[in-house]
Structure 1
Amino acid sequence: MGAVLQLLSMAGSVLGFVFLTLCIASGLYYISEIVEEHTEPTRRFLTRTIWVIEILLLLLLIFDKFPIKLTIFAMGSHMLYYQNLKKFPYISLTSITFLSSCIVVVMNHYLWFKHFNEVDIPPQFHYDPNYVPPRRATFSQVSSFFAICIWFMPFALFVSLSAGDYVLPTTVEQAKKTDEITELNSETTAKLRGRTIGLARVVIHNVRKYIYSVLALFGIQVQRDYDNLGI
């Protein structure tokens, strides 16, 4: 392979990765905006999805002989994800439930990845010529399992949950005038609250601000159209 062709291949790979990252970020931003406008339907959808995944894990345990301990752990982790929906779409990034969910996501990925890569022959069958190793799952089967039963709910929660609620400027001014914002009942407060800001949008917004600051160090000025996150 020529040197120029190799450099061209590397440049194409880098550009492909950059464009793929931008597409994913744009998709997350768009989905987060849709969720912000339809929080209650989203909560119902996520709740039903959790129960569907629980049923799928149970069926895998019964019919495909999945490991009992790992399956129970995965089912329990989805019950933990369900706890995040009790105050949906608001979330505290320092709450025990949220932090535990983050830890469980990593553990689920590691344990199931280790399970599907287990190729060791049990010691009692090392010298058994009649031993037939269990059929290994194909790449499409493993990737489908991870996408639906392991990654889907954490990803959906990340896109759907809000980093906090933002109050409209008119509400703030009215609260300052009346000085009775703390005495408003839940129904009135719900009416006065503005649109929530999705956690995914906050992350993307902060990353974009960091990129702007880095470009500014090199003297590159970029037009900032979304500094206020649409508030």
Structure 2
Amino acid sequence: MWILPLVGYLGSVVGFCFMTLAIASGLYYLSELVEEHTVIAKRFLTKLIYATMVLQLFLCVVDRFPFLPTALGILSHFVYLGNMRRFPFVKLTDPLFLASCVLVLVNHYVWFRHFSHHQERAYQNATSYYDTPDDVPSFTEIASYFGLCVWLVPFSLFVSLSASDNILPTMGSEPSSSVDTGAAKRRGQGLAKVLVDNVLGAIGQASAMFGWKKAEDRL
């Protein structure tokens, strides 16, 4: 077979492109939703952080999850909670924001090692290769833990927070004209929207350089 593998590769590329567009559209929608309902979003994220910490504590007490990784996860969510003091605005050089970015990666690495080592030890102690140990979490359980306890709060903060260079003016520094007000509103974008805009702008510039798209027709 020669054509079918090519069709498979083409379908994979097209599917990846559609998935990327869907994620970008979702980020845009969520960012605009948070900008319109800032107070509700702040309350929701604060309760979400506390609920995640309680869930991790219950997993440690009831399901005997390891203490040190659980303590690291709870500490990380306390650091995430510190970003809520000026919600939805954040300074990209803020130590709490930088620490949050590092803790996301550290938590992912620590829990990935925990689950992988736990599965490896369980299968080594199995009497037969075809036996499935009862105390080994399934892929769905592991993915759910990562999604709810490791990635959900950082991803929600990333979508909700706005860079301090793009914030709207305060009451003490209102612009003197309606033109300035319109420019300020256009600058009031969240981190996710800024990232998507930069990526689309880079794609537009690259296509203009290769003659695929005119510079004034940027994405």
TM-score interval (norm. to shorter): 0.7 to 0.9
Q: Which has the higher contact order (CA 8 A, sep 6+)?
A: 1
Residue 84 of structure 1 and its aligned partner are, at CA, apart by 0.2
Instruction: Tell me the residue number matched to 1:172.
Output: 175
Residue 147 of structure 1 and its aligned partner are, at CA, apart by 0.5
Instruction: Tell me the residue number matched to 2:75.
Output: 76
Deviations 1:95-119 (A, max 9, x none): 1000000000000001101111014
Percent of aligned pairs sharing the same letter: 42
Greater per-residue helix proportion: 2
CA gap of 1:120–1:224, structure 2 versus 1, over 3 A, is: closer
Q: How does 1:1-231 map to 2 (within 5 A)?
A: 2-118=1-117, 119-121=119-121, 135-164=135-164, 165-167=167-169, 171-173=174-176, 194=185, 196-219=188-211, 220-221=213-214, 223-224=217-218
Residue 121 of structure 1 and its aligned partner are, at CA, apart by 4.0
Letter in 2 for 1:162: S
Q: Is the 8 A contact 2:205 2:218 kept in 1?
A: no
Q: Is the 8 A contact 1:61 1:68 kept in 2?
A: yes
Letter in 1 for 2:193: R
CA gap of 1:69–1:63, structure 2 versus 1, over 3 A, is: same
CA distance in 2 between partners of 1:100 and 1:215 (Å): 36
SS at match of 2:89: coil
Q: Is the 8 A contact 1:166 1:197 kept in 2?
A: no
Letter in 1 for 2:206: V
**Bigger radius of gyration:** 1
| TM-score (norm. length: structure 1) | 0.80
CA distance in 2 between partners of 1:121 and 1:32 (Å): 43
CA distance in 1 between partners of 2:57 and 2:141 (Å): 17
SS at match of 2:168: coil
Report the aligned-residue RMSD. Answer: 2.5
Letter in 1 for 2:168: Y
Residue 166 of structure 1 and its aligned partner are, at CA, apart by 3.3
Letter in 1 for 2:176: E
Residue 120 of structure 1 and its aligned partner are, at CA, apart by 4.6
Letter in 1 for 2:149: C
CA distance in 1 between partners of 2:201 and 2:88 (Å): 24
Q: Is the 8 A contact 2:163 2:191 kept in 1?
A: yes
Unpaired segments ≥5 residues, structure 2: 178-183
CA distance in 2 between partners of 1:172 and 1:81 (Å): 33
Deviations 1:22-57 (A, max 9, x none): 100100011101101111110000000011111110
Q: Is the 8 A contact 2:56 2:149 kept in 1?
A: yes
